[in-house]
Structure 1
Amino acid sequence: MTANRPRQRLREEWLLWLFAALALALALLDPQPLANYRRWLQLPTLAGLAGLLIAIQGIRDSGLVQHAAAAVVARAHSLRSLGLLLVAATALLSMVLTNDVSLFLIVPLTLAIGAISNLPVLRMAVLEALAVNAGSTLSPIGNPQNLLLWQHSQLPFLHFAAAMLPVAAVMLVLVATFTLLWLPCERVALAPERIDGRIVSARLGAWSMAALAGMVLLMEYGHAPLGATLLLALFALLARSSLARIDWLLLLTFAAIFLGLGHFAELPLVQRMLDRRDFGQPLTLYASGIVASQLISNVPATVLLLERTPDATALAVAVNVGGFGVATGSLANLIALRLAKQPHGLRLLHLVSMPFLLVCAPLVYLAWRWCG
């Protein structure tokens, strides 16, 4: 049974196999120099994710997350208020710590709370995915596409944030409203036999927290590979069992997505289609950014359209809205689902996120044009 578990796990990784097949097919049909594959692979991004996975696993294994969960639940009265608190924390953290770091902190906490109460974990994971896409929209450092566009536009930090404020406000109001409507109105019900707020290893928790802070700092200054290497070596020496519990297949999935979508975005056919469009028209740019994000994810869509648009903030609006909809519209969606590890997560995300995009897109466009 134990020997078959890895094989079973691999068979379930259909997203990995899908994008690996796409990357392989494109490599055979449209061979490219090795330098292009290295560029598409986005090694700094993968290294950053690896470092975050390592640090968060250490925090989980230390018992700090379970301790925090017991403290939060003890002060909560209703599922709606608890859910709104988690959604608000996710959105606020995404403005200063980026969307993926926010999820790596909040989703494990949500899982721990769900283990000792009646909090609907999968619903919360979907809401937290929506929240990071909305919250990170406001900040120039909230997500990779904003960081890229902010640096490209050379706008002052506050000017960029001010341009995105109406957009983020609409998104956050929609997420908060949906949270209140979707979560049950019942009180939080605790399972006392499951509550264990003890910290298993204060030392592991302390240096895992320090490792997380150091990793975020190194990512901010462009040294993610160094940070991931240091954390890998540290945990190999001091907490090897934590390394064994990390979801390494998540990194392989992202690598396959980066290779497949990066290559697809640079196909001559795709480039010719883009050459026919007038991105100087606001509605054309807005619609194109959303559609491109749905097809190839919002970060590759940003790279694809960056040199074709005269207005970097307009493109930022489009690709941030494009993070809603299909799961691959934003990699944060996949991170939230993967961390939650709940059955039927992808189906529920699409049942929520697709209608959310259809409601959000026109409202954001009207707010952006009205305030612009």
Structure 2
Amino acid sequence: MSSHAVTRLLRPFIRDRLLHILLLIGVLLFAIEPQPLSVFRHVIDWRTINTLLGLMLLTKGVEVSGYFDFIGRQIINALHSERWLALFLVFSAALLSSFLTNDVALFIVIPLTITLKKLSALPVNRLIIFQALAVNVGSLLTPIGNPQNILLWGESSLSFMAFIGQMAPLAAALMLSLLAITWLSFPARNIVKKAPTQSYPYQKLLLLGCVVLYGVFLVSLELAQPLYGLLTVFIGFLLLARRVLLQIDWSLIFVFIMMFIDIKLFTELQVMQPLFSGISALPDSAVYSLGIGLSQVISNVPATILLLNYVPSSALLAYAVNAGGFGLAIGSLANLIALRMAGDRRIWLHFHYYSLPFLAWAALIGWLLL
């Protein structure tokens, strides 16, 4: 491997402030209450890590093929208004997340949205922020839309459709709210297109390879063998386009690994155990607030896992942890993925300008609907 390739691989790790903070937190928590190092490999959700890495590789492969440029040009030619384009992208992200999960939806819509930056003067960062909100809204509707719903559904006695019926009022209210905010946040002016500098061809062989690898990867996930699917994808890109392996955000994988480790260390602190043991005796309002609050600290999936140890799966808990996906970026892993894929540090502060008020609104609406 050339020195240029090594530098390209290491650069994200050197610049990744979030990873540095998580490493520091992990060291401090470990110093307070040391544990055998062998424990950590068991607390990491390797299925999530393998799935995330596989999707990152496949999405980058499609991006490198140039197909997103081609599709982006088709969309801009069909939708001339910034407002209608934003509504289309937001609704598409929400719809995809309902049935493909929020992470998968992001790996489809975010690279396509980033491509629009090359083609027009659109506020791409704002579009990405609204798509991050959209996948959190859309995914809360179904039992398979996000990891917390999968957990809640598994612990409940509800059928697939009954779970949707439970979540539909909150999903509908928040979707209408988000579409209204999107309408107000994007003007009706015509999209200012940049003069085309190329015909936007795409590499059909690489695109076809990505499609085939994606199919293999989905089968591996269905068979609960994500590692074999990931190895197939990795080998495929070694043969098709090695540059794809250098262009993905490898440090994001380590961010998620450190999140699993830090959450494990935090939830097992002896000083926290008396607080956790009292959760089962809390009134509904306190459990609802705790579900939202914990999501802001440790993300909504770990918050769901923690709370299910003390309270039953219910609409109350489902509404709380799904509302908790808004607010701070850490509230939902989907937020972190979307903001990292944007590749612009300025987006993090701008995201909270929209997400924090939306958290307050989602929490209020959720409580009123219970």
Cα distance, 1:240–1:151 mapped onto 2, change above 3 Å: same
| Alpha-carbon offset, residue 188 of structure 1 | 1.0
Which residue is 1:58 aligned to?
Answer: 61
Q: Distance in 1 between matches of 2:155 and 2:38?
A: 23
What is the identity, as a one-letter code, of the residue corresponding to 1:352? Y
Which residue is 2:45 aligned to?
Answer: 42
Which residue is 1:74 aligned to?
Answer: 77
Deviates most, 5-14 or 323-332:
5-14
Of residues 2, 12, 18, the one that matches 1:15 is: 18
C-alpha contact (below 8 Å) 1:152/1:312 kept by paired residues: no
Equivalent runs, 1:166-181 vs 2, <5 Å: 166-181=169-184
For this pair of structures, how many residues does the alignment match?
367
Cα distance, 1:187–1:60 mapped onto 2, change above 3 Å: same
Instruction: Map Cα deviations across residues 9-59 of structure 1 (whole Å, 9 max, x no partner).
Output: 434211000011112222232122445312322111111101001111111
Q: Distance in 2 between matches of 1:28 and 1:335?
A: 29
C-alpha contact (below 8 Å) 1:20/1:257 kept by paired residues: no
| Alpha-carbon offset, residue 185 of structure 1 | 2.5
C-alpha contact (below 8 Å) 2:26/2:261 kept by paired residues: yes
Cα distance, 1:290–1:53 mapped onto 2, change above 3 Å: same
C-alpha contact (below 8 Å) 1:137/1:320 kept by paired residues: yes
Structure 2: unaligned runs, 5 residues or longer: none
Structure 1 residue 111 corresponds to structure 2 residue 89: no
Which residue is 1:164 aligned to?
Answer: 167
Of residues 300, 318, 322, the one that matches 1:316 is: 318
Instruction: Map Cα deviations across residues 74-97 of structure 1 (whole Å, 9 max, x no partner).
Output: 100210100010000000000111
Instruction: Give the TM-score of the pair, scaled to structure 1.
Output: 0.93
Instruction: Map Cα deviations across residues 188-216 of structure 1 (whole Å, 9 max, x no partner).
Output: 111122464311x1011012123224323
Structure 1 residue 341 corresponds to structure 2 residue 343: yes
Partner SS for 2:224? coil
Over aligned residue pairs, what C-alpha RMSD do you find?
A: 1.9
Cα distance, 1:313–1:32 mapped onto 2, change above 3 Å: farther
Which residue is 1:256 aligned to?
Answer: 258
| Alpha-carbon offset, residue 313 of structure 1 | 3.4
| Alpha-carbon offset, residue 152 of structure 1 | 1.7
Which residue is 1:94 aligned to?
Answer: 97
| Alpha-carbon offset, residue 4 of structure 1 | 7.0
Q: Distance in 2 between matches of 1:173 and 1:365?
A: 17
C-alpha contact (below 8 Å) 1:26/1:264 kept by paired residues: yes
Cα distance, 1:216–1:128 mapped onto 2, change above 3 Å: farther
C-alpha contact (below 8 Å) 1:80/1:184 kept by paired residues: yes
Equivalent runs, 1:105-144 vs 2, <5 Å: 105-144=108-147
Equivalent runs, 1:287-366 vs 2, <5 Å: 287-366=289-368
